[in-house]
Amino acid sequence: MWEHVKAPIALTPKGDVIFDDPVLDKRHARKIALVRRQESGNAQGVINGIGVVTCVYVNPQQDRFWLIDDRIYDPQGDGKTKWDHLKDMLSVWVYQKRLPFTGVLMDSGYATKTVMLHIEQMQKTYYCPLKTNRRVDDSAGTIPYQRVDSLTWTQAQRKQGKPIKIRGGPKDHKVK
């Protein structure tokens, strides 16, 4: 795919990459390879479909974007998770292609310890929501972990964020 899209891409060090995992709806398919039952956010339920992990490059200064990579999500065929595909693609774009970007945007399904630490190791910033039932600590250990949706926020924190420790993460490691 890169060979077909690299020429028209307007690269910028202020760029971002977006990862998503759409499911191509194949509800009526009976004998198509790679079709399996999986959760689809678009269909708001479990459907027969083909899972894909996509990577889109965004130039926010020009308000333009390009699909630069995708991988079929076939855990029975290649043994890889969606998180493995994201980490593989990021490694290619950072270390081999040396694509200029600063941020990685992804949905809450990718907000795992291994993905976040992988992105941090590459010295990139990531933005992703946490699921409301995720256990976090904003008290520096003075109270037990609590659900994200039970945190209290000041007006300033609503705008700028606040440091929290995610349960199961490395000791003293906080995200904002």
Domain boundary assignment for the chain:
2-128, 130-176
Per-residue pLDDT tens over the stretch 25-57: 898 877 888 888 888 777 788 888 899 999 999
pLDDT for residue 8 is more than 90: no
pLDDT for the residue 172: 84
Per-residue pLDDT tens over the stretch 59-103: 999 999 999 999 999 988 899 999 999 999 999 999 999 999 999
Measured from the Cβ of residue 51, the count of other Cβ atoms closer than 10 Å reads 21
Per-residue pLDDT tens over the stretch 66-78: 999 999 999 888 9
Per-residue pLDDT tens over the stretch 116-152: 999 999 999 999 999 999 999 999 889 999 999 999 9
Strands (E) across the chain are located at: 16-20, 23-25, 36-40, 45-59, 64-73, 103-106, 125-127, 135-137, 146-147, 165-166
pLDDT for the residue 2: 77
Alpha-helical regions (H) of the chain: 2-5, 75-78, 82-91, 113-121, 155-160
Which of the pair, 48 or 165, is modelled with greater confidence?
165
What does the alpha-carbon distance between residue 32 and residue 26 come to, in Å, rounded to a whole number?
A: 9
pTM: 0.87
Beta bridge partners, 72, equal 52
What does the alpha-carbon distance between residue 86 and residue 148 come to, in Å, rounded to a whole number?
A: 25
Q: Tell me, rounded to whole angstroms, the distance of Cα 124 from its chain centroid.
A: 13
In the chain, the percentage of residues whose pLDDT exceeds 70 is: 100
What does the alpha-carbon distance between residue 17 and residue 101 come to, in Å, rounded to a whole number?
A: 7
pLDDT for the residue 134: 93
pLDDT for the residue 80: 95
Name the fold adopted by 2-128.
Nucleotidyltransferase; domain 5 (3.30.420)
pLDDT for the residue 85: 96
Ramachandran quadrant class, 37 (left: phi over 0; alpha: psi -120 to 50; beta: rest): beta
